[in-house]
Amino acid sequence: MIPSVQGNAPDLLRVEGLVRHYRGDAGIFSRHRHVVPAVDDVSFTIGRGETLGLVGESGSGKSTVGRLIMRLDDADAGRIVFDGRDITDLRGQGLIDLRRRLQVVFQDPYASLNPRRRVGDIVGAGLRAHGVETSQSGLRDRVAGLFRRVGLDPGQLDRYPHEFSGGQRQRIGIARALSLEPELIVADEPITALDVSIQAQIINLLLDLQDETGLSYLFIAHDLGMVRHISHRVAVMRRGRIVEYGPVGAVFDDARHPYTRALISAIPIPDPDREASRRQIAGDDGEVASDAKLREVGRGHWVLA
Amino acid sequence: MTTPLLDVSDLTVRFSQDRGKVYAVNGVSYSLARGETLAVVGESGSGKSAHVLAMPGLLGTGRYTGAGAAVEVGGSAVFAGKELIGMPEAELRRLRGSRIGFVFQDPMSSLNPVLTVGEQIAEAITSHGVSPRTAEARALDLLDIVGIPEPRRRARHFPHQFSGGMRQRAMIAIGIACEPALLIADEPTTALDVLVQAQIIDLMKDLRRQLGMAMIWITHDMGVVASIADTVQVMYGGRIMERGPVRAVFHDTRSAYTWGLLNSLPDAEMHAPSLAGRRPRLRQIPGQPPDMTQVPVGDPFAPRNRFATHRCLSETPPLQQVADGAPGHLVAAWYDLPQVLRAVAHRDASPQALTEMGT
C-alpha cells in the first residue's frame, strides 16, 4: 500500500517499499554480525513543483534515502520511479542522462567544492560534460547567468572557493545543481552548516527558484522549523521507517504518531514566555512492530500503526 | 551589591596567522553574578567562543585556532578576585576543572578514547588532590547525578560504547566533578538531536539549581537561549551588540542585529503552504558576515543594516544602558530601533516591506 499523492498531476518521483540494509559489526573480532536496516519499507511521492521535507534524527535513514534516490547507493529492495520510468537499476548512459534531471545540493559547502578549481569552472562542469554548451564564450555567459540567478556576482567567476563565505559557497553549490535545469533537487541538510543569519537567505533562494522554474525538492533536514517553512508535505523518519507522512499543516498541527509529537514538543521556542510554558511530550520507547503499516488518518495524512 | 564572580573589562583577542591578523574580540566588558546563567549568542567569527575561552587560557591550546597561530589576549578578566589574563599556566590549570568547569560541543574529541569513562571522571577529581578511592566513589555518584543508568557498570565502559547523549552526560560529569563556581558550556547541545538536546538542557538546569553554579552557555540557537538564560549577550564582529535580561532582549529588542536574527526565524504559527500561490519568504538579513582580518571601524553590523547612519559606518557605538529600558539592558547602537521600526511601519504599512531588511 503506497500513500498516494494529493493532486491529479502525475508524480515526478515515486518511491515504493525502499529497503537498504547495512551489515553492522561491533568490531573486527566480533562474532556477532547483525544486519542494520538503514531504510526499511519507505514509500513516498513528490509531485512537480512540490517540496517534500524529510525529517528525522541522526541515524534515522533520511540521508540514505537521498543517496538511494540519487543512485549513489543501491537499494536492496523496492522501486524508484522518476517521471514514470523505473530508475532503480539504471546503469551507464541511462544514469548519466538521469543526472541532468536529478541533482543534489550537499550539506557542507566547504567539502563539496573542489578547492583547486575556479568557481566558474565548478558551476559550468556539468554543462560541458553533458555537451549542453560547447563554446567557451557561450559557457561563460551561461555560468554568469547562473551566478546572477543565485545572487552571486558574475565578476567573481574566476575566483577560488576559499575566497567565498559559507553562504556564498552554498550558492555556488546551488548554481552547480541548477546548471542542467533539473526537475528534482535532493537538498541534503543544505543549511545546517550555515550561520543563522545566512540560513534564511538560502531558504528564500530555494523558494524563489522553485517559483521561477517549478522544480521539486526533496529537502532533508533535522531543523523542523525550516522544514515546516519550506515544505508542502513532510515525512518523519525514525529507525529507517517513515512513522508519519502528510501535508505540513496536518503533520505539525495534528501530529498523530507519539514520536512526531515528542519531536515537535522538544524544540525550544525562541521566546522566553512561550518557552516557559512549553509542555514537552515524552516520546515512545522507539520499538516499531514489524507488522506496523502506514494507515491513512486524514486526507493524505498517514501514520505508522 | 556583592562583588561579581567574573568581571571582564575591555577584553581583546587577536590571532596572528600567515594570512595576517584576525581581530577576533574587540573590547568586551561585562560582569557575571554568582549563580547567574549567561547565554552568549552569535555566529561563527562573532567572538562568542573566542572571548570566553581566552579567559581561562584555552585559546593557545590549538583547539580553536589552527596550529601555529599566535594568540594575543588583552584587557582584564577578574574571576573570584583573581586576574586571569596573564596568570601563569600552572595556576590557570589548577583553576580549570576545579573552580571553572567545561562542557564542549563534541564530547568524542574531548574524552580520551583509551580510558574508561569512570577513570576519566576520577582523574578529574584526583588531579585536584583527592584520594583515588574517594575519587572512584565520587565518580559513581556523578554518573548517577548526570542520569547515566547503572553507574557501576557504565563506569567501566569506554567513550565509544556510549551514545552521543550519554557521552555528553559523561562530559558534564567531568565538568561538574569539582563543583565549580562557573561552568563554561560551548555549544553543548549543537551536535545532538533535538530530543537528546531537550534532556541535556533539563539536566543542566537541574545541576545549576543543585550546585548553585554560574553558567556561560555559548550558542547560536535563540530557542536554547530562551530556554536557559537569565541574561543574554548578543555578539557580532567581536563586540557585544546587545545585552540584558532575556525577556528585555527578546521583547524589547534594541539592536538591529538581534532584531534581524529573531525575525529571520520561521514562524511556527505560519499557515501551511499550498502548491498554488506564493509562499511567504523569511525576513533575511542581507550580506555576508564581516571580514575579521580588517581593522574594525564603526558598528560592525552597519554594512548589513538598512537602518545604519553615516555615523554607524565610521564611529563605534559604546555599549550603554537603554534609556527607557529594563535595568541592565544595554545596547551598542547610534540609532533608536523602536523609533526606526515605527517610522518604517508607518511609511509602508505592509509587513512585506520588512522582508528584506536591506536596501
Residue A32 has pLDDT above 80, yes or no: no
Residue A4 has pLDDT above 80, yes or no: no
Question: What strand order describes the sheet that includes A301-304?
Answer: A102-105, A184-188, A216-221, A51-55, A233-238, A241-247, A301-304, A294-298
Name which of A101, A110, A35 is nearest A69 in CA terms: A101
Nearest residue of B to residue A58, measured between CA atoms: B193
Distance CA B188, CA B14 (A): 25
Size of the A and B interface in Cβ pairs below 8 Å: 124
Name which of B163, B166, B159 is nearest B118 in CA terms: B159
Q: pLDDT category, B66, cuts 50, 70, 90?
A: low
Neighbouring residues of B47: CB distance < 8 A, sequence distance ≥ 6: B13, B24, B25, B26, B28, B235, B237, B238, B239
Tens digit of each residue's pLDDT (9 = 90 or more) over A130-149? 999 889 999 999 999 999 99
Give me the residue from B195, B221, B282 closest to A204, CB to CB.
Answer: B282
Q: Please, what's the b/e burial string for A237-248 (b: 16 or more CB within 10 A of its CB; e: otherwise)?
A: bbbbbbbbbbbb
In order of start, what are the domains of chain A with their CATH numbers? 11-111+183-304 (3.40.50.300)
Q: Give B257-288 as a DSSP string.
A: HHHHHHHTSPPTTPPPP-SSSPPPPP-BPPS-
Cell matching residue B43 = 555566529
Chain centre distance of CA B358: 27
A-chain residues near B273 (CB < 8 A): 231-232, 248
Give me the residue from A200, A271, A274 closest to B284, CB to CB.
Answer: A200
Residue B69 has pLDDT above 90, yes or no: no
Cell matching residue B64 = 580553536
Q: Please, what's the b/e burial string for B348-359 (b: 16 or more CB within 10 A of its CB; e: otherwise)?
A: eeeeeeeeebee
- Min CA distance, A94 vs chain B (Å)? 31
Chain centre distance of CA B62: 19
Mean pLDDT for B342-351 is 73
Nearest residue of A to residue B285, measured between CA atoms: A197
Cell matching residue B94 = 589548577
Residue A22 has pLDDT above 90, yes or no: no
Mean pLDDT for B237-251 is 97
* Predicted pLDDT at A176: 95
Residue B169 has pLDDT above 90, yes or no: yes
Question: Any idea what DSSP says for residue B356?
Answer: B
Contact at CB, B264 and A249, closer than 8 angstroms: no
| Secondary structure class of B223 (helix, strand, coil) | helix
* Predicted pLDDT at A27: 57
Q: pLDDT category, A80, cuts 50, 70, 90?
A: very high
Tens digit of each residue's pLDDT (9 = 90 or more) over A166-183? 899 999 999 999 999 999
Tens digit of each residue's pLDDT (9 = 90 or more) over B278-323? 778 999 999 988 989 988 899 999 999 999 999 999 999 999 999 9
Q: pLDDT category, B346, cuts 50, 70, 90?
A: confident
Which secondary structure element, helix H or strand E, spans residue B347, and what is its range?
Answer: helix B337-347
Tens digit of each residue's pLDDT (9 = 90 or more) over B295-305? 889 999 999 99
Distance CA A168, CA A162 (A): 10
Tens digit of each residue's pLDDT (9 = 90 or more) over B118-150? 999 999 888 777 888 889 999 999 999 999 999
Q: pLDDT category, A110, cuts 50, 70, 90?
A: confident
Q: pLDDT category, A292, cuts 50, 70, 90?
A: confident
Q: pLDDT category, B349, cuts 50, 70, 90?
A: low
Distance CA A304, CA A289 (A): 10
* Predicted pLDDT at B176: 94
Residue A206 has pLDDT above 80, yes or no: yes
Contact at CB, A266 and B197, closer than 8 angstroms: yes
Mean pLDDT for B203-222 is 95
Distance CA A163, CA A117 (A): 12
B-chain residues near A262 (CB < 8 A): 195
Residue B19 has pLDDT above 80, yes or no: no
* Predicted pLDDT at A105: 93
Nearest residue of B to residue A167, measured between CA atoms: B288
Give me the residue from B194, B261, B281 closest to A267, CB to CB.
Answer: B194
Nearest residue of B to residue A216, measured between CA atoms: B275
* Predicted pLDDT at A197: 84
Give me the residue from B246, B260, B268 closest to A225, CB to CB.
Answer: B268
Of A237-241, A296-300, B43-47, which range is least confident?
A: B43-47
3-state secondary structure chain A: CCCCCCCCCCEEEEEEEEEEEEEEECCCCCCCEEEEEEEEEEEEEEECCCEEEEECCCCCCHHHHHHHHCCCCCCCEEEEEECCEECCCCCHHHHHHHHHHEEEECCCCCCCCCCCCCHHHHHHHHHHHCCCCCCHHHHHHHHHHHHHHCCCCHHHCCCCHHHCCHHHHHHHHHHHHHCCCCCEEEEECCCCCCCHHHHHHHHHHHHHHHHHHCCEEEEEECCHHHHHHHCCEEEEEECCEEEEEEEHHHHHHCCCCHHHHHHHHCCCCCCHHHHHCCCCCCCCCCCCCCCCCEEEEECCEEEEC
Q: For residues A59 and B186, which has the higher predicted lDDT (pLDDT)?
A: B186
Contact at CB, B288 and A167, closer than 8 angstroms: yes
Q: Distances in Å between the alpha carbon of A27 and those of A21, A58, B70? A: 18, 21, 41
In order of start, what are the domains of chain B with their CATH numbers? 6-218 (3.40.50.300)
Q: pLDDT category, B358, cuts 50, 70, 90?
A: very low
